[in-house]
Amino acid sequence: MTRKVARPLLAVAMLVWLTLMVTSVVLTVLAWGANIPGTTTEQTSGFAALLGFGIAFGAYPIVGAIIILRYPGNRIGWLFVLAGLVLVGAALTPQYLYVGRFVDPGSLPATQWAAWVAGMLDPLFFLLLALILVLFPDGRPPSPRWRPLPWIILAAIVTSVLQQATKPGIIRNDLPIDNPFGIESAAAVFPALGTILNLLVLTGVLGAVICIVWRFRRSHGEVRAQIKWIAYAAIGFVAAIVLAIMTAAAGLSSAAGDAAFGLAFAGVPVAAGLAILRYRLYDIDRIISRTLGYALLTLLLGAAYIGLVLGGQALSSSFTGSSNLAVAGSTLLVAALFLPVRSRVQTFVDRRFNRHRYDAQKTLEAFGTRLREQVELDQLSDDLVMVVTETMRPSRTTLWVRGGSE
């Protein structure tokens, strides 16, 4: 697709997204804290969750628009714009139902149709993410043998939409409205249709994961760095899901987990945009190394602090009867251990997950030592060329030495 065709289509899509976004914000404010059947007050009024998902609502279409303007033929950009429209539509339609049916009954028309549309949008978004994984980063499958996989995902999308659109009964627990297009006479068909849909979804999602891993293992250089960005975002997405599950299991407020979940949603298009646009592409190795380093450091120091506090309390309470001394001493000891432990943990992580940077750092340190001792210009020039070649890995290296004046 040329830029001449892509730009007006993109302008229309972004105008639709902006209209839906503003309408969704207005309806969310109107339904703020309302008592909605099938939901909780926290789910409809969690400000942190709304903020996190609000960022995600904007990240998908904006990143998609930037990709389209730069590479109009890349399907990833259009898929991100479509995912953004689906995501904001999935947020808008339930709020429309809540306001028109429960907050101010009769104030909005066609609330039943809004609930019907909402029931189809949620599974559509996740299947679009699977399709993006298959086509990432250039908008095409990695080889001809993978071409059936996008069609399987598209078949799952069509089947999901048809099932949600025609299934009789209540649309969803949080959408307590009977499906206006539900086909009661075909109720016996829906279990078989659900089985087919599950097989298609399972095949599409697992195939997308295997496809991106296959592409990573057979890639190198730029493509491998691009896939690392999307893998990093996927790890953050999984971590947010784990955080949400842990907060719910502990009986804590779900606002923090929902906010992290929304930000993790936003991380996927941002990481993909950085990878496709190649902005600071090779920084991903350093980011992964630092993330693993600080995560491991947090676990080690946290475990050490808990062990010191418990052991110190047991020891000090037998002498002084107070545990404040143990808490203060443990805090000071952990603070003193932070820098040396961080240095050793980061070196350990770099050796295994960022080997190129670790080797480059060692090479530069060795060159600095030789530089202080070397006096032969020819030998120094050879060492400099070797260091540049090993650390920067250029395709060609030339050293020009300016001669002195007579």
Extents of the domains making up the chain: 3-279, 292-336, 358-392
- Local confidence band at 43 (pLDDT 50, 70, 90 cut-offs): very low
Question: Contact, 119 vs 51, CB < 8 A?
Answer: no
Give one DSSP letter per residue of 301-312, joined into a string: HHHHHHHHHHHH
- pLDDT of residue 322 exceeding 60, the answer is no
Q: Identity (one letter) of the amino acid at 296? A: L
Which DSSP letter does residue 395 get?
Answer: S
Q: How many residues does the chain have?
A: 406
Question: Contact, 193 vs 163, CB < 8 A?
Answer: yes
Distance CA 270, CA 286 (A): 17
The residue with greater pLDDT, 207 or 5, is 207
Per-residue pLDDT, averaged over 51-70, amounts to 86
Residues 6+ apart with CB under 8 A from 252: none
- Local confidence band at 42 (pLDDT 50, 70, 90 cut-offs): very low
Question: Contact, 312 vs 327, CB < 8 A?
Answer: yes
Name the pTM for this structure: 0.71
Class of domain 3-279: mainly alpha
Residues 6+ apart with CB under 8 A from 307: none
Question: Contact, 130 vs 202, CB < 8 A?
Answer: no
Q: What is the pLDDT of residue 41?
A: 44
- pLDDT of residue 152 exceeding 90, the answer is yes
Range of 20-29, 44-53, 143-152, 326-335 with top mean pLDDT: 143-152
Q: Which residue has the tokens 């229309």?
A: 12
Distance CA 135, CA 188 (A): 36
Distance CA 310, CA 292 (A): 27
Question: Contact, 132 vs 149, CB < 8 A?
Answer: no
